[in-house]
Structure 1
Amino acid sequence: MEVQTILQFKSEYMRRITDDTGIFQHTKFGVPDRSKGYTTDDNARALIAAVLLYNSKREAAVLDLIHTYVSFIHHAQNADGNFRNFMDYSRSFVEESGSEDCQGRTLWALGFTLAHSASLPDNLLNTCRYLINQALPHIEALGSPRASAYAIIGLSCLIETPNALTYSFPYPHTPTTEEEAAFLPRAFILELIENMAARLHDQYNRNKGNGWNWFEDSLTYGNSMLPWALLKASRISSNGNMKEAAKESLDFLASRTFSKEGYYKPIGSHGWLLRGGESAPYDEQPIEACEMLLACKEAAIILQDPAYLKHAALCYEWYLGHNSLKTSLIDPQTGACYDGIHRTGLNLNQGSESIISFSIAHSVMHHE
């Protein structure tokens, strides 16, 4: 099947479903559903998408989005450093603390922002550093493997980026207080990455066997984040065993999500894939294509194998029509992304998670 792989991305839709509080969680077709409010999850992911867009085009309107999303995350952080997640339309958070996944995703977004910060104002980056520093005491206690994976990726971005761990000043500055010297301690962050990655690696080794090369007895959501996190950690620690486990598990995931017809087909959210069973065919979610694309792009670099770039391209083409429905998920009128593939066709709602996922995928594939 011939697929259009060059598509002009329209950033207007993301702006349209973002108000001065943040990006709305859901829509009714293309109109924000105010009754569903906002989430830190979506504003964190939107921050990644907006940073990529700004690095490409330096538009003032996109910089405004970045400030909005960082401001939302700042407001979401409790005094103890944890992040709340669900906010209603009256700007009231409806929980004391968000899920572990929310903590991990937010660390990923903040670390990513600092790793792609060349064009961003120092004061905004310092806010990101502050938020990470406040959250650090809680990270090692994360029990969810996916939450740990998101956090590993975000913290690895910090370690891999020169000057990411220190406040930026518009003039030469040397830390003068104990508080400044203890800010975002590199040795502590390296130990966090090592400990969380070791737990993830141990879980993989305990659970794999009989052709099931995976961390759990099921493939559910956010699967690609697990091997991706091991890849990131293995590069920092030069751990060959961890790198091999990352490759083995990513290859296993690919064997279950790329069809024999040659297109990407994520595990369906209505039933998932249980060990020894068959994949649920629907619903196919846009975020899965985005995260698998990111994992494969990283694998191509770390494993030095260009075959993973072909997998990444297929994930991108999933949005454009090279999928089980043979239909594009991109609304040609608005540039929005439909919420997934159902048994009966497209989900015609166009929520934030979907457009964010496509925006990230498009930016990464076109070096924006």
Structure 2
Amino acid sequence: MDPLNKIKSMTSDIGIYQHGKLNNPAPEFGYALEDQARALIIADRFGDKKLKDIYLNFIFRAQREDGLLYHFFYEDNNGQFKSEEYNCKSNITEAYGLTIWSLLATGNIKNDKIKNTVEKLIKEASGWTSIRAISSTLLGLASLDREHSLESELKTKLHNFCFETYSDDWVWFENYLVYANALIPWTLWEICLNRKCKASFEIARKTTRFLIEKCQENDVPAPIGNKGWYFKGREKALYDEQPIDAAYMVCCLEKAYHATEDKFYLDWAEKWYRWFFGNNINNISLIDKNFACYDGLTPEGVNLNQGAESNICFLMAYLAARRLGIAK
């Protein structure tokens, strides 16, 4: 079975649809920039040029007059591509960070138009405070053969986030655990591997172990629930658990294992990959017979919708697990 079948079914000539209704795409909800960015990485890793060109072209067409990018897009009644009138500002830097990562990591910087877009986004990144936007940007920069001038600045920001909130019982970058947490230590492991940074190694090691400890129930992987999250000193929410968190943990632990050769990380990478197949607090698989991923775990079972983020992130985990030799 082609692992790309699901995202192919969700992809139009414009890009990958943001949401799904059950196992069908939901065109009425349009497209999100971050989905195209992550999907570009997947298409590149699988060597699917047709998909790669679609997602890359979406990013081309997302450009605003100021050189930055729109966040959300819809098709009008004539099937034409247009920007949403009111673009969301809250997470747009995260979408930009993912775009930098995808364009750099897939080697598209050689294209002049893309190079200009990346340079514009990187210039903006210097002023960002979003830890996830910074982390995604660093993943892109760390993929370059030579260290970019911004890399050291953003890496120091990431280190300082940890120093500012660190305590004996809370070894983390923020005073809360929310979504896509493992992206942050994953970034530092990548920097360790590519730049031989000892400070990043120590922070990555301590925060990864902290995250493993906090995101489990009796040795069973349990991402932080999005119905309340987990704030320092309070109870953590168990539901709803999201595939992005399990996927990023697998990717983080893959890098941790390569950096340390410690079997502890390999064992946990396998546990987290198996989260998708029933090694979770509900004992239910999130992967259907067509190798498509449901949108999350709920108190009642699974969220039966199958959106872009869930399926793209699952494929990230699948590729990492395959490289580790633990994939189903």
What is the identity percentage for the equivalent residue pairs of Structure 1 and Structure 2?
A: 32
**Correspondence for 2:303:** 347
Amino acid at match of 1:267: I
**Correspondence for 2:205:** 247
Spell out the pairing of 1:1-368 with structure 2 (5 A cutoff): 10-54=3-47, 62-90=48-76, 91-94=81-84, 95=86, 99-114=92-107, 128-159=114-145, 189=148, 191-260=149-218, 262-332=219-289, 334-367=290-323
Runs of 4+ with >6 A deviation: none
| CA distance in 2: counterparts of 1:112 and 1:37, whole angstroms | 26
Q: 1:114-142 CA deviation, whole Å, 9 max, x = no partner?
A: 2xx8xxxx98x666545423422212111
| CA distance in 2: counterparts of 1:259 and 1:129, whole angstroms | 45
Amino acid at match of 2:297: I
Structure 1 residue matching 2:3: 3-state secondary structure: coil
Amino acid at match of 1:155: L
How many angstroms does 1:23 deviate by?
0.2
Describe the shift of the 1:318–1:63 C-alpha distance in structure 2 as closer, same or farther (beyond 3 A).
Answer: same
How many angstroms does 1:143 deviate by?
1.3
Equivalent residues of 2:225, 2:240 under 8 A apart: yes
| CA distance in 2: counterparts of 1:267 and 1:277, whole angstroms | 13
Describe the shift of the 1:97–1:71 C-alpha distance in structure 2 as closer, same or farther (beyond 3 A).
Answer: farther
Q: Which runs of 5+ in 1 are unaligned?
A: 1-7, 55-61, 160-185
| CA distance in 1: counterparts of 2:293 and 2:88, whole angstroms | 30
Q: 1:237-286 CA deviation, whole Å, 9 max, x = no partner?
A: 544233211211111111011332x3211001111101012220000101
Amino acid at match of 2:277: L
| CA distance in 2: counterparts of 1:69 and 1:130, whole angstroms | 17
Amino acid at match of 1:307: F
Structure 2 residue matching 1:87: 3-state secondary structure: strand
Describe the shift of the 1:236–1:36 C-alpha distance in structure 2 as closer, same or farther (beyond 3 A).
Answer: same
Describe the shift of the 1:31–1:302 C-alpha distance in structure 2 as closer, same or farther (beyond 3 A).
Answer: same
| CA distance in 2: counterparts of 1:294 and 1:127, whole angstroms | 30
Structure 2 residue matching 1:100: 3-state secondary structure: helix
Equivalent residues of 1:321, 1:329 under 8 A apart: yes
Q: 1:216-238 CA deviation, whole Å, 9 max, x = no partner?
A: 11000111111122233345554
Equivalent residues of 2:254, 2:266 under 8 A apart: yes
| CA distance in 2: counterparts of 1:341 and 1:139, whole angstroms | 34
Q: 1:52-111 CA deviation, whole Å, 9 max, x = no partner?
A: 222xxxxxxx32111000111111233444222111222222246851101111111122
Question: For the pair shown, which has the larger CA radius of gyration, 1 or 2?
Answer: 1
How many angstroms does 1:199 deviate by?
1.2
Q: Which runs of 5+ in 2 are unaligned?
A: none
Equivalent residues of 1:218, 1:272 under 8 A apart: yes
Describe the shift of the 1:335–1:234 C-alpha distance in structure 2 as closer, same or farther (beyond 3 A).
Answer: closer
Equivalent residues of 2:294, 2:303 under 8 A apart: yes
How many angstroms does 1:10 deviate by?
3.3
Structure number with greater CO (CA < 8 Å, separation at least 6) is: 1
Equivalent residues of 1:53, 1:363 under 8 A apart: no
Structure 2 residue matching 1:229: 3-state secondary structure: helix
Q: TM-score, normalised by structure 2?
A: 0.90
Q: TM-score, normalised by structure 1?
A: 0.80
Q: How many residues align?
A: 317
Equivalent residues of 2:68, 2:117 under 8 A apart: no
